[in-house]
Amino acid sequence: MKTPAPGSHVTVLLQESVAMLLPALGAGAVRRCVDATGGRGGHSAALLEHLQHQDMLLILDRDPSAVAALQERFGHDERVVVRQARFSEIRAVLQSLDWDSVDAILADLGVSSPQLDEAERGFSFLRDGPLDMRMDPDTGISAAEWLNTAAEKEISQVLKNYGEERFARPIARKIVQERTQTPLQRTGQLAALIATVVPRHDPGFNPATRSFQGIRIFINHELEELEQFLPEAMAALRAGGRLAIISFHSLEDRMVKRFFRADSYRVSSDLPLRAAEIPPLPWRAIGKSLRAGAAEVQMNPRSRSAVLRVAERSDRHAA
């Protein structure tokens, strides 16, 4: 099998995610779905194959280039509404459309291949370009702006907490030292700096991987966005509706797993209640987590770390 060409995007866990959402699409005269992270539209196109002419699909993305691509791909389809928005804004967008609830929501939390492969976006340490890393280049500060002004302790904490980088402190120290001589402006410049600090033990692992991940997560407030999105998305589902999340690193997956367990709604086993008196949980996890199979990983190595989790809304008024 061929690996994807640079600039192309291969949708991860496509069949699995759609299959897990299909049971939620069996009721209602008009079915409404949301692809909360549209990207280049792979998941959206697959969902549309299962929607009828009266059904609707809302596609969100915060990246203006992705929104333009989505509008070009689906602009002719009357069932599709495309909006530029962060996925944490899902409830506000639904309210603007007068959608009181939806049947299914999908969010793929990965960075798209075009974002990684376009050097000017600044996401990749493999391609030299401006050190930007913003999902929406029109908002917030770039990675370069932050790295050239942040305190050493803050940089170290970001690399450690978001990138899970063991060498966070020496990398942060090196960044602060180097920027006094030459401001950090390029991805290649940062990657080369990190390589002087992090020992290369694994020939298949780039020393800059964890640091770039941590900086990207911080610059785009990705964990904060996910924390806001999960309850907003679940509240937007009708009873029996499903939420599917594809995550790509342990910080995201841990957050999704804990939320889907609905721990904050569970009644303590110490309370003297009969089984019939225990209130039902507002949602429940569906099955076990799913990962890409060997064939998909061979075709698309970026799918190796993907984890799919699905939950179903049980009582619309419980949250």
User: Which residues are documented as binding site for S-adenosyl-L-methionine?
Assistant: 41-43, 61, 87, 108, 115
Strand partners, 242: 104, 312
Q: CA 116, CA 80: separation in Å to the nearest integer?
A: 26
Alpha-helix runs per DSSP H in 118-249: 143-147, 152-161, 168-179, 187-195, 209-219, 222-236
DSSP helix/strand/coil, 287: coil
Instruction: Output the DSSP codes for 48-100.
Output: HTT--TT-EEEEEES-HHHHHHHHHHHTT-TTEEEEE--GGGHHHHHHHTT--
In this structure, which amino acid lies at residue 242? Answer: R
3-state secondary structure of 293: coil
Backbone angles phi, psi at 32, to 5 degrees: -125, 130
Residue ranges for the known binding site are: 41-43, 61, 87, 108, 115
Count H helices and E strands in the chain, helices first. Answer: 13, 8
3-state secondary structure of 134: coil
Residue with tokens 């998941």: 43
Which token pair is 60? 């969100």
10 Å Cβ neighbour count for 248? 19
Structure tokens given for 26? 């069996």
Residue 309 CB coordination number (10 Å): 21
Task: Please report the beta strands in 79-211, taking only residues with DSSP state E, as ranges in sequence order.
Answer: 80-84, 102-108
**Hey, how many other C-beta atoms are within 10 angstroms of the C-beta on 99?**
17
Instruction: Give every CB contact of residue 74 below 8 A, 6+ residues apart in sequence.
Output: 41, 44, 45, 48, 59, 80, 82
H-helix or E-strand spanning residue 113: helix 113-117
Question: Could you tell me the two tokens for 277?
Answer: 């008196």
